[in-house]
Each structure stands twice: as structure tokens, then as C-alpha cells.
Amino acid sequence: MKTNINLGIISVYEFMQKFPTEDSARLHLEARRWASGRFCPACASVRTVEVKGHKPMPYRCQDCRAHFSVRTGTVLAESKVGLQKWLMAIYMLHTSRKGVSSIQMAKQLGVTQKTAWFLDHRIREAMRQRGGIFSGTIEVDETFIGGKEKNKHADRKLHLGNV
Ligand SMILES: [Zn+2]
């Protein structure tokens, strides 16, 4: 799957084609977050494995044994809203010129207005920061809890840049 999809320029039709399922949305977000390889959000180790039948936390770190998903340590973890809906909300906010009301967003996503309000605020906040939806993941480094230096993802070894 192409990973450099610019949500701001594709049509609704293209959006629906690219993200027809929750899995396709997850794969897109994973490719964005872990562009140069998956690594543990707790200790930055690259020695991670996929755990079958462990859907909410499909990966496990072989160094610190933490279970994680693409949501872990990001704004996506703060809500149970599906990743497809997160992407749709991001898409709506990126493409609408006049802005989107939470009533409108709630209707189109099939979520409560409270959830729409939450998504709206979180995404707007993320859009203002470098690193977009995955900004803020740097904080994970502050709570660094182990892992061998040689197994660490290159981004974490060298600097604390945005993922
Ligand atoms: Zn780890």
C-alpha cells in the first residue's frame, strides 16, 4: 500500500477506496508512525513481534515485553474510536474549507457528538504541531524503561525527533 497519501487532496471516493476497512486504516497509520521500521513505544527496541489473536495490542517487545499497538503512546490511545473513523475525521478537517461542526461530524461518522467534539479538538491540536497525529509520542522517551542500546530504533538513538 502506498503510504504517502495526502489526506488533504484525495476525493471522498478515493478515501473510501483506500480505507474500506479498519485494517486498511491501521496499516496506513502504522506505515506513517513506523516509516523506517516498527519499534517499541516504551523502550524503542526494534526487536518486536506480532502476536496472533491479540487484536487490541497486536505487537510485543522482546526486550521489555510490553504489548503495544499503533495507538500506544499517542492521542489515538485516548479513545476507543476506530482508526477508520479517526482517519475520516482527519480527512474531514483537512478538506473542509468552512470547518466542520461537531454535529456534522457526529452524523457523518456515526458517533456521539461528545466523541466528535473530542476528535475535532484532538485533531486540530495535532494539526498545529509538527508530527501531526503522532506528535507528543516523544514524551515516551522521558519514561524510558530499558532496552538494549544496540536494539534501539535509529531515530531514538540519535535524537528525539518526531516520529
Ligand atoms: Zn520495549
Give pLDDT tens digits along the chain (163 positions): 444 567 767 888 999 999 999 999 999 999 888 988 999 999 999 999 999 887 889 999 999 999 999 999 888 998 889 999 999 998 898 888 788 899 999 999 999 999 999 999 988 888 787 667 775 453 333 333 334 556 666 555 433 333 3
Q: Is the same domain home to 42 and 85?
A: no
| Bridge partner residues of 67 (DSSP) | 60
The reported pLDDT for the residue numbered 110 is 96
pLDDT for the residue 99:
82
* Bridge partners for 119 per DSSP: none
Segments forming the whole domain that contains residue 24: 8-34+80-133
Residues 74 and 136 sit within 8 Å (Cβ to Cβ): yes
Whole-model pTM? 0.77
Q: Within this chain, do residues 90 and 124 fall inside the same structural domain, yes or no?
A: yes
> From ligand 1's centre to the CA of 44, what distance in Å?
6
Contact indicator for 106, 113 with CB cutoff of 8 Å: yes
Q: How many CB atoms lie within 10 A of CB 42?
A: 22
C-alpha cell at 29: 497509520
The answer to whether residues 128 and 61 belong to one domain is: no
Written as nine digits, the cell of 84 is 477508520
61: three-class secondary structure by DSSP:
strand
Residues, Cβ < 5 Å to ion ligand 1: 40, 42-43, 45, 61, 63-64, 66
Name the domain count of the chain: 2
Clarify whether residues 88 and 114 are in a common domain.
Answer: yes
Q: Where do runs of H (alpha helix) occur along the chain?
A: 12-18, 22-33, 83-95, 102-109, 113-128, 139-142, 154-158
Q: Residue 57 has what pLDDT?
A: 93
Asked if 48 and 39 touch (Cβ cutoff 8 Å), the reply is yes
The verdict on 155 and 127 lying in the same domain is: no
Domain shared by 84 and 112, yes or no: yes
- 132 alpha carbon – ligand 1 mean position (Å): 23
Residues 87, 21 share a domain: yes
| 1 assigned to some structural domain | no
Q: How far is ligand 1, taken at its centre, from the CA of residue 113, in Å?
A: 36
Residues 44, 139 contacting (CB under 8 angstroms): no
